[in-house]
Structure 1
Amino acid sequence: MWDSVLSLHTFVERQLAHALQRRFGVGLSEYRALEVLTRAEKGEHRMQELADRIGLGQSSVTRLVGRLESAGYAYKDTCDDDKRGVYAVITDAGRKHYQDARSTYTDVLGSALDTASDDDQLARAVQALRGTA
Structure 2
Amino acid sequence: MSLKPLTSEEEAVMRALGRLMLVLPRVLDADLEQGERMSLSEYSALRHLSEAEGRRLRMSDLAAACDMSLSGMTRLAGKLESLGYLQRRRCERDARGMDAVLTDAGLRRLEAAWPTHLESVRKRIFTHLEGLDMGTLARALEAMSCTKDRC
TM-score tier by shorter-chain length is 0.7 to 0.9
How many aligned residue pairs are there?
123
User: Can you give the 5+ residue segments of structure 1 that lack an aligned partner in the other structure?
Assistant: 118-125
**Alignment partner for residue 42 of structure 1, among 54, 77, 80?**
54
Of all paired residues, the percent bearing the same amino acid is: 33
Partner of 2:64: 52
Quote the Cα distance in structure 2 between the aligned partners of 1:8 and 1:44. Answer: 32
CA-based RMSD of the aligned residues comes to: 2.2
| Aligned-residue offset at 1:110 | 1.4
More contact order relative to length (CA 8 Å, sep ≥ 6): 1
Structure 2, gaps ≥5 residues long: 1-12, 138-151
Pick the structure with more helix per residue: 1
Query: Residue 56 of structure 1 aligns to a residue in which SS?
Result: coil
Residue 54 of structure 1 aligns to which amino acid in structure 2? C
Q: Which residue in 1 is equivalent to 2:145?
A: none
- Change in Cα spacing, 1:127 to 1:8, as seen in structure 2 (3 Å) is farther
Higher CA-based Rg: 2
Question: Residue 12 of structure 1 contacts residue 109 of structure 1 at CA under 8 Å; is this kept in 2?
Answer: no
Query: Is the CA contact (8 Å cut-off) linking 1:43 and 1:89 kept in structure 2?
Result: yes
**TM-score, normalising length: structure 1:** 0.82
Query: How far apart, in 2, do the equivalents of 1:80 and 1:105 lie?
Result: 33
Q: Displacement, 1:127?
A: 6.8
If the length of structure 2 is used for normalisation, what is the TM-score? 0.73
Name which of 9, 21, 32 aligns with 1:20.
Answer: 32
Q: Deviations over 1:33-68 (max 9, x none)?
A: 000000111101000000111100100000010010
